[in-house]
Amino acid sequence: MASFDAVAFDLDYTLAVTDRDRQSLLDVATDRTDAHDIDRADYLDAHGAVAASETRAPIFERLLTDDTDPEKVATAYRLAIEDALEPLDGVEGLLAALRESYRIGLLTDGPLAAQRGKLGTLGWADLFDAVVITGDLPAGKPDERAFAAICAELGTAPTATVYVGDRPEVDIQGAADAGLATVQVVYPGGPDPHPAADTTIERSELVARLPEIIESL
């Protein structure tokens, strides 16, 4: 059984979810800005091809084929997500309880404005000892530098840090390759467990069971 000094989390689909699927929210953004429809799969492809930045405007710049302002669509999408964002029940108490024994961090992919906006909407600015948004880094997850950055901010070694996230290749394989222990969050309709995960946990059981799971690693 290993001993850990810190626990770091992914944000989206791990600690917070939206009350509608992302395609619906993307449709809200394009409707509000009179932009043409954008398929979620195309959005994800563009997201992966664009370097991290302050906003999602460079992503929409690749996707828009008319004269719609990419910054306006990016802002509309950010606000739609913030309006639909909901924390898991009890997550604030979970983080407070874990903080009594561990340093607590957040490593989240995305543009700075988008992820800061989510933290502001959730009221979580003070719940973490360290927050790293990959829009402020040379590379996002699964790049080892992203995981090294959160460990550096937490002041802990990778081998003394647990990472909790839902995406198999991005969160779990990336964290494992960087030397962190891994807990994959799974949920109905979500990705299958990844072989690199040290263990898995149902998202519905995260608040109740995560502390004991970390202790058992």
Question: Which of the listed residues 84, 109, 133 is the one where a domain comes to its end?
Answer: 84
Please name the residue that has the structure tokens 């467990």. Answer: 193
Q: 159 and 201: one domain?
A: yes
Averaged pLDDT of the chain: 95
Question: 33-62, pLDDT tens digit by residue?
Answer: 999 999 999 998 998 787 767 889 999 999
Same domain, 128 and 208: yes
| Digit-coded pLDDT (tens) for 153-184 | 999 999 999 999 999 999 999 999 999 999 99
Residue 128 pLDDT > 80, yes or no?
A: yes
Domains identified in the chain, total number: 2
Q: In which element (H, E) is residue 200 found?
A: strand 199-202
Structural domain harbouring 59: 22-84
**Whether residue 113 sits in one domain with residue 125:** yes
Q: Are residues 13 and 106 in the same domain?
A: yes
Are 99 and 50 part of one and the same domain? no
Q: Are residues 162 and 212 in the same domain?
A: yes
Helix runs in the chain, H state only = 22-32, 40-49, 57-63, 70-84, 91-99, 112-122, 144-154, 174-177, 206-216
Q: Is position 160 within any domain?
A: yes
Do 93 and 107 reside in the same domain of the chain? Answer: yes
pLDDT value of position 47? 84
DSSP string, 124-164: -TTS-SEEEEGGGSSS-TTSHHHHHHHHHHHT--GGGEEEE
Which 3 state secondary structure label does DSSP give 177?
helix
Domain for residue 38, yes or no?
yes
CATH number of residue 207's parent domain: 3.40.50.1000
All residues at 6 or more sequence positions from 214 whose CB lies less than 8 Å from its CB, including other chains: 4, 7, 98, 102, 162, 183
Residues 47 and 116 in one domain: no
| Domain annotation covers residue 1 | no
The C-alpha atoms of residue 167 and residue 176 are separated, in whole angstroms, by 12
